[in-house]
Structure 1
Amino acid sequence: MNLQISGHHLELTPALREYVITKLDRVLRHFDQVIDGSVVLSVDNHREKDKRQKVEINLHLKGKDIFIESCDVDMYAAIDLMVDKLDRQVIRHKDKIQGHAHATMKYAPQESEAPAP
């Protein structure tokens, strides 16, 4: 998987980079058909009182693109929220792909052609 991690109005430390990578490994455990992804960590400085830490991810899966964003006061908490949302979305997508809504004709019950007495 090609993963691009960048920071916007934020210095991307090796600790933050490693934390994002280890958290995203949880997603790869459930679904291994991830093509690539981009993560943007940013700080919203518009309000002086509460600086909002924001995490965005755009993940390209086989057959679908998923975009998730989460905000929190703490960057690590925002990453955790983002990974939880992403994990639910990926599991839902995997269930849709692997779900067998219709039974095959091979195992369908057959009606007997002989008339009933």
Structure 2
Amino acid sequence: MNRQNNTQEVIVSGIHLELTPSLKTFVQDKSERLFRHQERIIRVRVELECDSKQAVAQRFTAKGHIQIFGPDMNASVSSDECHKAVAMLIDKLDRMLERRSHMVKAKRQHVRVTDLEAAAPETM
């Protein structure tokens, strides 16, 4: 299923946190980086959570879910500031997508047993 239009769906939700328009645009601007790796990303969902009972260094948690053809990717990051947590989350998801694309390329170039049997001459 190849989509012709390049609409990228980014869903931002807040848990115990009021989402401001600037925070939403910050998340959407940062998430543009993820779409350069895989053109087959269906949806990116970012959940921002503020837990006032946690320690100050882990007060804000950003969770990211990437729905992609194949296994979905999930990541979570905690920080003392919401914007910092979002930036760290996008970096983490970016590294995960990069690793996945390298693994796909390496798998494509891997020599298979049937290729080795066909290349080897029969000795008898």
User: Same fold by TM (over 0.5)?
Assistant: yes
Aligned counterpart, 1:102: 111
Greater strand content: 1
How far apart, in 2, do the equivalents of 1:37 and 1:25 lie? 10
How far apart, in 1, do the equivalents of 2:101 and 2:71 lie? 10
Largest Rg, 1 or 2: 1
How many residues align structurally? Answer: 111
- Please point out which of 29, 32, 44 is paired with 1:37: 44
Aligned counterpart, 2:66: 59
**4+ long deviations beyond 6 Å:** none
Aligned counterpart, 2:28: 21
- What is the percentage of aligned positions where both structures have the same residue? 28
* Equivalent AA in structure 1 for residue 70 of structure 2: G
Scaled by the length of structure 2, the TM-score of the pair is 0.77
1:23 is paired with a residue whose SS is helix
RMSD of aligned residue pairs (Cα, Å): 2.3
| Structure 2: unaligned runs, 5 residues or longer | 1-7
| Structure 1: unaligned runs, 5 residues or longer | none
Superposed displacement of residue 109, structure 1: 6.1
Scaled by the length of structure 1, the TM-score of the pair is 0.81
